[in-house]
Amino acid sequence: MANLYHFPFCANSRFVRLVLAEMGLEPTLVEERSWDRRDEFLLINPAGTTPVLLEQSGTVIPGAAIIAEYLDETRGLGLSGRRLLPEDPTGRVEVRRLMDWFLVKFEGEVTGYLVAEKIAKRFMSSSQGGGPPDMNAIRAARTNVRYHLKYIGYLIARRRWLAGDDLSYADLAAAAHLSCVDYLGDVPWEEDEMARNWYARVKSRPSFRTLLADRVAGMPPAAHYADLDF
Amino acid sequence: MANLYHFPFCANSRFVRLVLAEMGLEPTLVEERSWDRRDEFLLINPAGTTPVLLEQSGTVIPGAAIIAEYLDETRGLGLSGRRLLPEDPTGRVEVRRLMDWFLVKFEGEVTGYLVAEKIAKRFMSSSQGGGPPDMNAIRAARTNVRYHLKYIGYLIARRRWLAGDDLSYADLAAAAHLSCVDYLGDVPWEEDEMARNWYARVKSRPSFRTLLADRVAGMPPAAHYADLDF
């Protein structure tokens, strides 16, 4: 149906892969390493970031949250009961608040650091910023992830899914980010049983399967990464 | 109609003030200094950031882009020809792309540095991170602003307004950010005549007036800040 320019460990790209799979859509995946700043890629997204969805019509939709809004507007109505953004304005605010929490805040405080330091730097040349990981950045991320996990636990103690009664973009955004951190073994699951059970629920969905098959060459995932009963 | 928790030199708050004024809505402005991390404020927005819109009904809407979506959904239809988010999905993608460009990317590369270093640090205690400005951060922002200005000039050479034929959230987001940087005298207007003319057009709108009246105590704006024919 469309091309998705992504990087397998770009958590915001993973979010879009989950959304497309939940909607029953199968994009052609095109791996893009944003640090290469490829001219053809910059032409379709001047911001130079993944993910970008390219429709067969030629319409370019850049950015995870913008893709989510676009897919809801163009395919959401066909999903009826399985729509990932609620219909009422107040419900939409809560889903968008939490989607932003994970796609932007969690990315900036946790995933961005870990993926850059542990994964992306392996693939970058030294002029692109490659080299050994900065342990201070990794330590900061490992500290930050703890309060986010607690926040998920807090929400899920009060609601069936993160933003309310139904699975929504909020759950997929949070789980996409946690899946990257979990691959690296940096989620302290033992600190929050509620958060862990919620993650096991999301991870068991068929939409999650392809994410669990991703591997970084020479860097196997944490032992429980693809285990649905971790 | 509602309370807007804002900081006068938080560019994302300025964006929401412009949006509300363009819609003919007059919020009660409540000044919030996010670095104080006030308990009552954290209760309504756990992310601790401005802006936050609090409706009389008690509905809390946190974050500039989320407020923009919410206002379009709850008040947009009544604006007919003056709607700030177009109706067609492709037009919406372009407005959202540029809104995100300024609210997130420009904030992260330009406004965030300048406002933190030159303004916020004056009000912060030393434990909050107050103190003298970091000149490296200011220099980085002054370098970054140049390519953003060029990008505005590039877009406006091809379109009437930033995202197309009509004034949209994209123009208000860009102008809100530039207004903060302009107060500090850090926009090299002489480098792009097209961008300068576009900004003069937005700045002349009645919605802009209250922004031009804002002052930082002991720090007057650049000479041309409130001048409509700068």
Query: pLDDT tens digits for chain A (230 residues)?
Result: 799 999 999 999 999 999 999 999 999 999 999 999 999 999 999 999 999 999 999 999 999 999 999 999 999 888 877 899 999 999 999 999 999 999 999 999 999 999 999 999 999 999 999 999 999 999 999 999 999 999 999 999 999 999 999 999 999 999 999 999 999 999 999 999 999 999 999 999 999 999 999 999 889 999 899 888 77
* Nearest CA among B43, B228, B9, B221 for reference residue B114: B9
The tokens for B152 are 């505005």
Q: Which residues of B touch A96 (CB under 8 A)?
A: 63, 65-66, 69
C-alpha distance from residue B136 to each of A20, A100, A197, B35, B184 (Å): 42, 29, 45, 22, 16
* 3-state class (DSSP) for residue A222: coil
Closest Cα in chain A, distance from residue B110 (Å): 15
CA dist A108 and B35 (Å) reads 18
Using the predicted structure, report yes or no on whether residue B217 has a pLDDT greater than 90: no
Are residues A93 and B47, on separate chains, in Cβ contact within 8 Å?
no
Alpha helices in chain B (DSSP H): 11-22, 39-44, 64-75, 89-100, 112-115, 121-123, 135-156, 169-183, 193-203, 209-213
The per-residue pLDDT for B78 is: 82
Which domains are delineated in chain A? 2-82 (3.40.30.10), 89-206 (1.20.1050.10)
The per-residue pLDDT for B230 is: 74
Prediction ipTM score? 0.95
CA dist B23 and B67 (Å) reads 13
The answer to whether residue A204 neighbours chain B at the CB level (below 8 Å) is: no
**pLDDT band for position B116 (50/70/90)?**
very high
Closest Cα in chain B, distance from residue A132 (Å): 24
Are residues A47 and B90, on separate chains, in Cβ contact within 8 Å?
no
Q: What is the pLDDT of residues B19-39, one digit of tens each?
A: 999 999 999 999 999 999 999
Q: Where is pLDDT greater, at B230 or A17?
A: A17
Strand order, beta sheet including A28-31: A28-31, A2-6, A52-55, A60-62
Q: What is the pLDDT of residues B172-213, one digit of tens each?
A: 999 999 999 999 999 999 999 999 999 999 999 999 999 999
Are residues A92 and B69, on separate chains, in Cβ contact within 8 Å?
yes
Burial class (CB in 10 A: 0-12, 13-18, 19+), A9: buried
The partner residue sitting opposite A69, judged by closest CB among B59, B96, B105, is B96
The per-residue pLDDT for B183 is: 97
CB atoms within 10 A of CB B165: 10
Mean pLDDT estimate for chain B: 96
> Chain-centre distance of CA B197, in angstroms?
18
CA dist B11 and B91 (Å) reads 24
Q: For residue B71, which phi and psi values (nearest 5 degrees)?
A: -65, -35
The per-residue pLDDT for A42 is: 96
* 3-state class (DSSP) for residue B135: helix
Closest Cα in chain B, distance from residue A223 (Å): 33
Q: For residue A191, which phi and psi values (nearest 5 degrees)?
A: -80, -15
Q: What is the mean pLDDT of residues B43-62?
A: 97
Using the predicted structure, report yes or no on whether residue B229 has a pLDDT greater than 80: no
CA dist B13 and A122 (Å) reads 39
* Nearest CA among A72, A92, A93 for reference residue A83: A72
The answer to whether residue B74 neighbours chain A at the CB level (below 8 Å) is: yes
The per-residue pLDDT for B70 is: 98
Q: Evaluate whether B181 touches B146 at the Cβ level (below 8 Å).
A: no
Which residues touch B36 (CB under 8 Å, ≥6 apart)? B128
The partner residue sitting opposite B66, judged by closest CB among A60, A73, A97, is A97
Q: Indicate which of A66, A101, A109, A158 best probes the interface with B, i.e. most B CBs within 10 Å of its own CB.
A: A66
Closest Cα in chain B, distance from residue A89 (Å): 6
